[in-house]
Each structure stands twice: as C-alpha cells, then as structure tokens.
Amino acid sequence: MALGTQLIKIRRTTDGQVLYLATTLRNTSDFPLNGAGQAAFEAAVNAGSFTLTVDNGAIIPAGTVPPLIKPGVVTGAAFSQKIQAEDAAGTGTSSGPSGMTICVAPIVPAVST
C-alpha cells in the first residue's frame, strides 16, 4: 500500500474556473497512477468517498460531496460544479456537471451522499 497526498481542484462547470483547492490521501494500490486508476479516483472523490482538507483548513468529511462554495465562504451566486483530480502523473478528466443550490450563509459540510 502506497499513500500519497493528492491535490483536488474544485472547478465551476460553466467556465472551468478553480473555485478552491483541497487535498486528500490517495492509496495507489486502490487507485493506481494510470488512466483507469485516475478515473476511479475522480469518481470516488466526486461521490464524496474521501475526507478532504480545504486550503483554508476546513474539513469536508467523507460521505459529503464537495460543496460548490468553499466552506466558510458566503456568496449568492448559483452555478454547477465538476471535479477534476491532478497529480504528478497528470490531470484527469473532469466529472460531469452537478447543479447546486447555493446558500447565502456559510456552508458547514454535512453527510449528504
């Protein structure tokens, strides 16, 4: 088993803009550093299978689909998201877009998937 830190970019689907960054541990025995492993890893992240640490220190627990709004940020804009993983081997394909309803209060991640 080989564990490594994986950078996750949460992007807006309308223009691909990176909304925020997070990291998680990736087991390369379960998710090898090849095309199939990358696709499986991205699907698992998109489904909320990993605990993510946001670049501002917030934690998005496993079982939670990454929110469209960076945890702790307030906004009223509505948009959809897609998730794309990136590592030393390259950048994976993005997930399909997910429509989100944006709250205007700070978002506290909750188990939702």
The pLDDT of residue 100: 57
The pLDDT of residue 76: 56
Per-residue pLDDT, averaged over 77-90, amounts to 70
Hey, what are 95's tokens?
Answer: 């997930």
Cα separation of 39 and 43, whole Å?
Answer: 6
Are 78 and 102 in contact by the 8 Å Cβ rule? The answer is yes
What is this structure's pTM?
Answer: 0.59
Q: What is the pLDDT of residues 65-82, one digit of tens each?
A: 888 778 766 555 555 567
Whether residue 64 has pLDDT greater than 70: yes
Hey, what are 75's tokens?
Answer: 């906004």
SS3 per residue for the chain:
CCEEEEEEEEEECCCCCEEEEEEEEEECCCCCCCHHHHHHHHHHHHCCCCCEEECCCCEECCCCCCCCCCCCCCCCCCCEEEEEEEECCEECCCCCCEECCCCCCCCCCCCCC
Are 11 and 2 in contact by the 8 Å Cβ rule? The answer is no
